Structure 1
Amino acid sequence: MLDTKLVHSLPKLPTPILTVYLDTNPANPRNQRIPSGARIWLKSRAKVLAARSPRAEQKLFREQVERVDKFLRSPAPRERGMVVFAGPDVWLELPLQVDVEDELHWGRPSLTQLLWLLDEHQPSGVVLVDRSGARFFRFWLGEIEEDAKEFFRLDISQWRKKHLMPPAQPGMQKTRGSMRDVFEQRVEAQFARFFRDAAEKIAAWVQREKLRPVFIAGPNESVEPVWAALPKTLCEHAARVKGFSGKITPAELQQRIAPESDRWKRAYELAVVNKLLAQSNGRRAVVGMDETLANLQQGEVRELVVVRGLGGKLRQCVRCQWADRSADPACSACGGERRTIALRAALPELARENGVTVEVVAGEAATKLRAAGGLAAWLR
């Protein structure tokens, strides 16, 4: 699973460096031949980029391309996507289980696509609960990983021993049926306490790990009492997945949860966009490219909502970094020179500079938001 600390260190990689994003999905027909479509694209794009590179760096550039090509040959990657950073003293590969678009860059490390992927694929949680305990899993960028330190086991061995104990005083005889009833009531009370404790532990874990959504999964008789004990605010960003045994492998759990996660996200995104459009009065929310960009750079935005794959160009001041769609050659704020920059490259940087989270929407939510300019925001 991707290391967030590693991601934060990427801008500090020494230059010049080769950045490669590749669709290596073995299910893609282009990657089912030899050489793979990923390798063919790399070689073709490298020829174009080499011609644009400084003459003094072209030998180094070709060496790094060859290193990446060699890596793709032995053995062929099985991941859906791959990001590689290659330089004279650097080799860093990031295998990803999400769709990646082919890109090749030389010079500074190119992080734009990676930042978009991180915004689009927020980490979520899965808690697998039954009467033996609870297991905690993080689901992120198409991968699932168990959080072993959160494992929560219920030990019922002592309960059974108590059931088999002889009478406390000689001469007293147990009524087996009534004692069994009392024992079973106590067992159910212990299970009820366990489910409440599990709900409390889940709430703390979700808050600490910043997970959304979290899925409570397992047999019906375990999922329901845990769900009932969760805080209502957490349930707004959670869902139940019932009707299967807690005895399931992580791979099977991921296969079961993935479609549930997609459905939850599409429904959540649609609700967010509908609410934004209904409240876009300039006090709580803004909708549209120009107004949203202005509010973002003025520090008025707390969360951006953007259509997946939104394109377009901006003009950005090389001095104060102000960016908008105006065609003016000089910055209206400081008079500095302006350069053309892709919205796709500028938006993640502007969001991070202003401490703003980004919600990337798809499906019906994207269709509705695109009709309103493709970009919106909740205000502080």
Structure 2
Amino acid sequence: MITQDQFQALLSFEPSEQKVLSLYLNTDSSEEPTEAIKLKAKNLLRQVSGLAADVQAVETYLNHSFDWKSPGLALFSSRGGDFFESFPTAVSFRNRLRVTPKPYLKPLGHLLEHYAHYGVILVDRVGARFFAYHLGTLQESNGFLGEEIQKLKQGRGSSAIGRRGGVGGGSREEENARRNLRDAANAAVDFFGNKPIRRLFLGGTAENTAQFRELLPKQMQSCLVGSFVMDMNAGEHEVRTETLKLLQTANAEREKKLIKTLVGTSASGGAAVLGLDDTLEAISNRRVQTLLLSDGFQMPGYVDYNSGFVVANLAKSPLSDRELTAVDDVIDSAFTLSLNQGAHVEVIRDDPDLENAGNIGALLRF
């Protein structure tokens, strides 16, 4: 699993004459055999020319070092394998290969943005289980067990008295359940209180999760992005699989809103730009607050790494091509420069509204 410090180190990679081979793989061996995955990787690597030692370093790692327990894998190799980094992940990637002056980081950036620090609570009328995840990997878990609820048979004992107006067994059961839910909510606050949770999911019956939600403090309620039906005794793998699906859905909904804001702000003449040239100009001027990119969007261009200047159309550049470095993918350079400037970057897959807007745009600081 990659850390933020490791990601920053990759961002700070100094380009040289020798390019970087970046390979992302779906290594989920539950979907297909490892030999089939290796073959797909080998076919991708056949597209590379001039980096034979780096190709060999990657193949050696896949054949002898990778344990094939992780669904995703990001690999970076340069200088004949002298620079080599591998990052197994709990979330799979789309298979892709890039050869660029710097590590190709958009898929890793997407992973760090969308799957960082989320929590799950399973709750029923007796107790709760808590899970803290980061990048799809379980970091910590705990639980709470309240008072067992004894159900009385209908029409017997105090439950019958309760129907005539007294305090019956049914009422005591409900009060015990409410107390358990309150205590479980307090336990959840203790568990998640010192963790940087950004999103929170509730699992259980619809009735229990609705009641439990209201017992959480406002700050935790603001992190809630979804609920799902699941048995309290479900295995951790089942919990993780279900919440990863919910997280993808929640992220897609958030992206839709962000793109709508971008397009609407641009149309009204607000602080936003759409399209390649205007967005690259905003990056060069350090005006970008949030950069939005279509996943897979590539375009050749030019960059000056020292000043942070990036351009696709030389007719719009105050610098000549002799003063700039030509790159095969100026979009990747825009991604890296924006992150280094402190901008928020979203890599968005298969969104027609963003594609119609030119596959790139930005909300601006000023």
Normalising by structure 1, report the TM-score: 0.71
Change (3 A) 1:77 1:39: farther
Worse overlay, 288-297 or 84-93: 84-93
Matched, 1:308 2:325: no
- Give % identity: 17
Find 2:337's aligned residue among 335, 350, 361: 350
Letter in 1 for 2:247: S
Aligned counterpart, 1:37? 40
Matched positions, count: 339
The structure that has the greater radius of gyration is 1
Change (3 A) 1:198 1:379: farther
Q: Aligned equivalents of 2:19 and 2:283: distance in 1? A: 31
Q: Aligned equivalents of 1:339 and 1:22: distance in 2? A: 26
Q: Is the 8 A contact 1:127 1:217 kept in 2?
A: yes
Aligned counterpart, 2:87? 94
- How do 1:5-16 and structure 2 match up within 5 A? 5-10=5-10
Letter in 2 for 1:126: G
Instruction: Find the residue that maps to 1:36 and give its secondary structure.
Output: helix
Q: Is the 8 A contact 1:39 1:72 kept in 2?
A: no
Q: Aligned equivalents of 2:94 and 2:109: distance in 1? A: 11
Aligned counterpart, 2:119? 126
Aligned counterpart, 1:53? none
Letter in 2 for 1:267: E
- How do 1:96-175 and structure 2 match up within 5 A? 96=89, 97-103=91-97, 110-118=103-111, 121-123=114-116, 125-130=118-123, 131-138=126-133, 140=135, 143-148=136-141, 151-156=142-147
Q: Is the 8 A contact 2:274 2:358 kept in 1?
A: yes
Instruction: Find the residue that maps to 1:360 and give its secondary structure.
Output: strand
Output one character per residue of 1:300-342: Cα deviation in whole Å (capped at 9) or x when no partner. 332122222122123223652311223149x527997122221
Q: Aligned equivalents of 1:191 and 1:76: distance in 2? A: 43
Find 1:84's aligned residue among 75, 79, 84: 75
Instruction: Find the residue that maps to 1:279 and give its secondary structure.
Output: helix
Q: Aligned equivalents of 1:105 and 1:301: distance in 2? A: 26
Q: Is the 8 A contact 1:124 1:214 kept in 2?
A: no
Aligned counterpart, 1:378? 363
Letter in 2 for 1:367: P
Q: Aligned equivalents of 2:301 and 2:311: distance in 1? A: 5
Matched, 1:332 2:322: no
Aligned counterpart, 2:161? none
Aligned counterpart, 2:162? none
Worse overlay, 277-286 or 83-92: 83-92
Output one character per residue of 1:10-63: Cα deviation in whole Å (capped at 9) or x when no partner. 467899797451535347879645972323543x356x224xxxxxxxxxx63x
Q: Is the 8 A contact 1:301 1:378 kept in 2?
A: yes
Instruction: Find the residue that maps to 1:306 and give its secondary structure.
Output: strand
- How do 1:277-316 and structure 2 match up within 5 A? 277-280=263-266, 281-316=268-303
Q: Aligned equivalents of 1:30 and 1:41: distance in 2? A: 17
Q: Aligned equivalents of 1:287 and 1:91: distance in 2? A: 36
Aligned counterpart, 1:367? 352
Aligned counterpart, 2:154? none
Output one character per residue of 1:263-320: Cα deviation in whole Å (capped at 9) or x when no partner. 2222222222122222223434332322233333333332122222122123223652
Matched, 1:4 2:4: yes
Instruction: Find the residue that maps to 2:5 and give its secondary structure.
Output: helix
User: 1:204: how far off?
Assistant: 4.6
Letter in 2 for 1:101: N
Structure 1: tracts of 5 or more residues without a match: 51-60, 161-176
Change (3 A) 1:219 1:122: same
Matched, 1:256 2:257: no
Q: Is the 8 A contact 1:351 1:357 kept in 2?
A: yes
Q: Aligned equivalents of 1:313 and 1:17: distance in 2? A: 16
Q: Aligned equivalents of 1:70 and 1:332: distance in 2? A: 46
Output one character per residue of 1:118-172: Cα deviation in whole Å (capped at 9) or x when no partner. 36644252312313123123152xx331423xx3524438x99xxxxxxxxxxxx
Root-mean-square deviation over aligned CA pairs: 4.1
Change (3 A) 1:184 1:33: closer
Output one character per residue of 1:234-259: Cα deviation in whole Å (capped at 9) or x when no partner. 65663332322121112111222233
User: 1:79: how far off?
Assistant: 4.1
Change (3 A) 1:275 1:321: closer
User: 1:88: how far off?
Assistant: 7.0
Aligned counterpart, 2:157? none
Aligned counterpart, 2:180? 191
Change (3 A) 1:102 1:289: closer
Aligned counterpart, 1:57? none
Q: Aligned equivalents of 1:224 and 1:35: distance in 2? A: 46
Worse overlay, 123-132 or 346-355: 123-132
User: 1:354: how far off?
Assistant: 1.5
Q: Aligned equivalents of 1:3 and 1:300: distance in 2? A: 27
Structure 2: tracts of 5 or more residues without a match: 151-165
Change (3 A) 1:210 1:350: farther
Worse overlay, 256-265 or 184-193: 184-193
Output one character per residue of 1:72-112: Cα deviation in whole Å (capped at 9) or x when no partner. 23477354443335677776432233224343659x76243
Matched, 1:246 2:237: no
Q: Is the 8 A contact 1:24 1:38 kept in 2?
A: no
Normalising by structure 2, report the TM-score: 0.73
